[in-house]
Chain A
């Protein structure tokens, strides 16, 4: 399929462990976004990449969260010392580079993280 791919679809971990979530965007999309969605809530912005660089990381909640996109395609969201409050669905989205305010985001199906 040509859509945004996220792995794993489900991850269960123990409090204090390290977790990596992977996102493979649509080919050719230069913009990549990570969101977090808690149960019954709307997606909450975490970080935005334009190419390889993080253009906006204002949504990262603390320094336990980090994301990389070394070659401007696949991105990995890394969470250190996980806490129960990190349990959520982590959504990745991509889009072509656009200017102005238009241009929708294309979302993956998300990675559900459960911290026990």
Chain B
């Protein structure tokens, strides 16, 4: 099974509108971390936001918030007040529990967001 699933290959949003990018994950660990990265056309991976599985509140960072629904195993990224500069690929990623010995992040296939003026 895919560890991280992003079902939206592409999304359009009007400037100044909010948009939700979907992410579901699969793990049997109780402790895990969820990350979102942005990759503009220039190629660099930019860290946006992190949510730990034991965090009771949804993470927020400026215009980014993470809608964490543990029972559904979803970690959707919400971008409020979209800007033209938000146009990019967005990747959801997970780090599973320390007992796995695995430190690397596992990434989804990404969603391409295009913000329209």
Query: Can you give 17 contacting A-B residue pairs, CB < 8 Å?
Result: A31-B103, A40-B109, A40-B110, A42-B4, A45-B104, A48-B103, A50-B103, A56-B104, A100-B31, A100-B98, A101-B52, A101-B96, A102-B52, A102-B95, A106-B47, A107-B44, A107-B45
Cα A104 to Cα B50 in complex, Å, equals 8
Q: Which of A42, A89, A100 contacts B43 (CB 8 A)?
A: A89
Determine if A102 and B50 form an interchain contact, defined as CB atoms under 8 angstroms apart. Answer: yes
Q: How many A-B residue pairs have CB under 8 A?
A: 71
Determine if B45 and A43 form an interchain contact, defined as CB atoms under 8 angstroms apart. Answer: yes
Residues of A within 8 A of B25 (CB): none
List residues of A whose CB falls within 8 A of some B CB: 31, 33, 35, 40-45, 48, 50, 55-56, 59, 89, 91, 93, 99-110
Cα A105 to Cα B95 in complex, Å, equals 11
Determine if B43 and A109 form an interchain contact, defined as CB atoms under 8 angstroms apart. Answer: yes
Cα A9 to Cα B104 in complex, Å, equals 23
Q: Does B68 belong to the interface (CB within 8 Å)?
A: no
- Add 13 more A-B contacts to A99-B98, A101-B97, A104-B47 (CB < 8 A): A41-B109, A42-B4, A42-B109, A42-B110, A48-B103, A48-B104, A55-B101, A59-B104, A100-B33, A100-B98, A101-B32, A104-B35, A106-B47
